[in-house]
Amino acid sequence: MIENQEIAETKSKNWKWVITKFLMKSLFYSFLIYLPFLGLIRSGIYFYHTYHLNTWIGLFLGMIFSFSCIAIYLLIITKLFFKDKRLSKSYLKWLSGIVSILVLGYTVFSLLSFTGKNAKSNKVKAEYSSLHPYLKISVRTFLFFDNDLIITDLSRTSDDYTKMGLKKKDSSLHFIQNTGYTHAMDLSTRNRPFWMIWSAQLYFKSLGFNAVRHGGTGDHLHVSLSTYEKQGSW
């Protein structure tokens, strides 16, 4: 009887360990897949906040980070699956070319492929060109996982707050900032399940943006990039 109980407990522990191990591996590999994109955006934000670097220089440095991550992954995969393969100069050049095209292609695609389908109005669609490139790349990527996401508001002026019946602001990240872009966008939370709103908030926060759910013009998720003068402001 005691032996049977011990066997049952051992099996239970083994199953728990198998499930825990599977979850840990899943999280680890998911992070590895996410890392090149995470570095692309967070590197740019880091250099902007810390060294006040130009948007495009920061993005270029972020692309170098992504390039390095993907190249290292491919080199490791090559060595694991083709142990006898020599890493010749021609192969390394080919690898570099493929990864460069991949990173550059995805960045350009993310910047230019917004069709306006996810904009609440033609006004928002027209204002999308003034949105900061880091926010453009991030929201365009998120649309792969949540194609029903709606952008409700982007660029504003001080008078817009008066028209909306809100307290007039002297500064807002919805205004055009020192980068030449608006640093904020509002995403609709209407008729959306909690877990989708939470996942969007977690996603944008992980990339280094502010992501705050609040009212004002109605319940929405406010996503913004603080300026280097006022880091932490949203």
The domains found in the chain, sorted by start residue, are 2-111 (no CATH), 117-224 (3.30.1380)
Q: Residues 41, 121, 161, CA angle at the centre, nearest 5°?
A: 80
Q: How many CA atoms lie within 13 A of 206 on its CB side?
A: 15
3-state secondary structure of 186: strand
Question: pLDDT grade, residue 10 (50/70/90)?
Answer: low
pTM for this structure? 0.90
Task: Kindly report, residue by residue over 88-130, the tens digit of the pLDDT.
Answer: 889 899 999 999 999 999 999 999 999 999 999 999 999 999 9
Taking the C-alpha atoms of 210, 41, 134 and 140 in order, what is their torsion angle to the nearest 10 degrees?
Answer: -100
| pLDDT (average), residues 172-182 | 94
